[in-house]
Structure 1
Amino acid sequence: SSRAKATVADITATRAANRKLAREAVRQSLVLLRNDQNLLPLDPRQHVLVVGGADDIGKASGGWTLSWQGIGNANADFPTGSSIYGALKNQIENAGGTIELSEQGEFERRPDKAIIVFGEDPYAEGLGDVSDLQAPDLERVKKILLTLREQGIPTATVFLTGRPMWINPVLENSTAFVVAWLPGSEGGGVADLLLRDAKGEVQFDFLGRLSFDWPNDSLNAQDKEQPVENNLFPSGYGLNLASASLATLPELKLEPTKPNVRSEALASVMIFNARTHPDWEHFLGEPLGWQQRYGNGDQRSNGGQLRVRRADTFVQEDSVRLLFSGDGRQLNQWYWQAQAPKDLSRTLEEESMLNLMIAVNSYPSEEVTVRMDCVYPCSAAVSITNALKAFPLGDVRELAIPIRCFVENGLKVDRVDTPALLATTGALDITLSSVNIGAASAISTKMACN
């Protein structure tokens, strides 16, 4: 409170009232798109598996949260807040049930029901611009859903997003589906709708309605610059518990529309530009875990010899800084990977380059390689050690490596799943602001294959 002579009790009461109102706002905003078998709300007096990003208040808050892009925030930065998982855990355990949190869907004890939370990473302004409406992480989440379904485990999916997106492969395989938008630090508002109370009674019904049409395609098939015309749900749509039992899904378009790149001068593949493109995921790798998913904040590898954090190059938080601290005995790597291999043959036909926008902060102590994989162990590497040592410290330079170099070293370009991997056993400090496959710019440092 800003009132003169306000007491601690006044401030505490005001804070509690504000949180109560925020929690109610979350409850009223959630939109129910599917609820087969009357799955929701779940009885909390059972064993529930929670999968994905449910314990991340920063992800649930979006951009303009503590920082411009809203990334790099830990739950501890929200001392009075509650994550979705934290709220679920509190209600389930208070009702006598049990809960298990898993990133990839594995479990120690077979769950009665499962909840998957996935969605967009935080963004603000132009850094949130996308070339199509395909939601991130669809293939990974779909695989988890199929695995759970094969075991007879009903699953409710919760989607965190700031906008309507194409989510059909996940929607098709979910028993129930809820658009939670960005509930922020009041995860309790989500738990209130996903769970019954300790006596098995419904706590609240779904009241949220779509404020925009929900797309049935990722792109306008006729003109990618125009809005999607093939819509799945109209503005104003949203189920409640009664209507959901009678609702059936419209026909889902299960393959996304992609831009017709044949009409463009050069086939280009965006991998990273301020944020990782939805076609790819980013990972840290070393002997204690070769596929450690990066969460967009300040993160160390399990072995501690690779630290990754966001950095500023042209605008705030538009880059990743990679700090390798190896002593020559252990390989550490940073890479982007797809859920399924991609055919990049056209990039070879058109003499494309793997372009890396790099600032070298300290020179490498050991050899540094860039690798492309065609489903490991199929791979090809190119050394960039000398190129990095030739760059002035602190200057932002573009390094262009011909795709042909990787092909000559064994890459099968028709099935690439890892388009860029940086690896070294030594110490190195670099900042990456852009990674793509396409034409080299006029100011690039172009490497020769020999």
Structure 2
Amino acid sequence: MHASFFQHIEALEQRTLGVLESQGFSGLLIGSGVLHKRFRDDNYYPFRANPQFLQWVPFLSAQPDCWLLVRAGSKPKLFYYLPTDFWHLTPALPSEWWCEAFEIIAYSDAAELRSALADTANLAVTAERQPGFAQESWTLNHDRLNTELDFHRAVKSEWELHCLREANRLAVKGHIAAEGCFRAGGSEYEIHQTYLQAIAHNERDMPYDNIVALNEHAAVLHYQFQQRQAPETSQTLLLDAGANYQGYAADITRTFTAGEGVFADLVHALDMKQKQLLKAVGAGTDFVVLHRQMHTLIAEVLQAFDLVRLDPEAQLERGITSVFFPHGLGHLLGLQVHDVGGWQQDAAGTLREPPQEHPFLRLTRILEPGHVVTIEPGLYFIPSLLEPLRSNGAGSAVNWTLVDELIPYGGIRIEDNVAITAEGIENYTRDAFAAEQRPDL
């Protein structure tokens, strides 16, 4: 895949130079990011590199204080920070195959950078703050420039698609190992550690904090804890966990059950409805329409299981499905788990906000080849959402006896990572499970 990386850099350079020219800048200086000290402490928060920097140099996700200069007429210049430091390991100047795409210049302090960039007036700077070596003519985080670059970032190059595919293959290995730990009676903490070991990641490698939710915790959409003690009976595991490959993220969710019964049948039913919706995903599809179609499919499940005694159309009219499926169907995926530009409709930054009745939808674009998105329907039993429904008129159609029986199971989410192609889709997640001889997942 080396050739595809150089093609990726060439295309990225052409696009960036075009945007710079249209906005009247002589070049773009992108910072990898800086370390931040914890409040009233001398230790630092874990470092997260600037995604715009990673799009060019995904191999330097752990190196703060690096800078990339993009200008017409010269190879992109990578200023690589090599401080004199006996407290920490200073990474060696890179010399791997990808370095051929850049002119790499080592520096150890700001004075060296100021001198190296002395002839670069009228730069656009993309960084969290203006660097101390900046010239007065430099512009920090120009809105229109960043907006245009964000919009185009949604269409992935062959290199980026390769990285996203590989991230899914890694994450699937973790999901399979975690399922085994769940079935052996592991705690949330033990399941999480099993996952990390299976994919050879540590905490700071992960693209986001794993959601490892047993039983009723599966009804907390972004459940943020990992209990060390396993419950007396583990009925459900909702595992929302990804992986990182060359800066690109996988974001996969599966729901496992310990035995047979109504909840296990619900998991299977939602899985079937997700597969049904996937047949409608493709280039030219309006993601808002997909989201609404998923609500209809969930209403069919609720009716079929006698959870709600109304037809799908009536359920949607009364807002009942939003109680059981309160989040969006999915989002763009790439360098960031919730990749930028989900509401943007054009390079100028025109926004299409989600429908009023579905405020948490993160993606409102028309899908096109090169987009990578998540498709993640859910069906949850969330007490704080169920109680208002129980007390209003629409609640009379709900089978509360069955709902109350299912509350201890928490909820269900099935999430695949899907690339849009000219012919349809490539489902990275299900392909990876099939390669591991788990086509049922």
Q: Same fold (TM over 0.5)?
A: no
Q: TM-score range by the shorter chain?
A: under 0.3
Structure whose residues are more often helix by fraction: 2
Per the normalisation by structure 2, the TM-score is 0.27
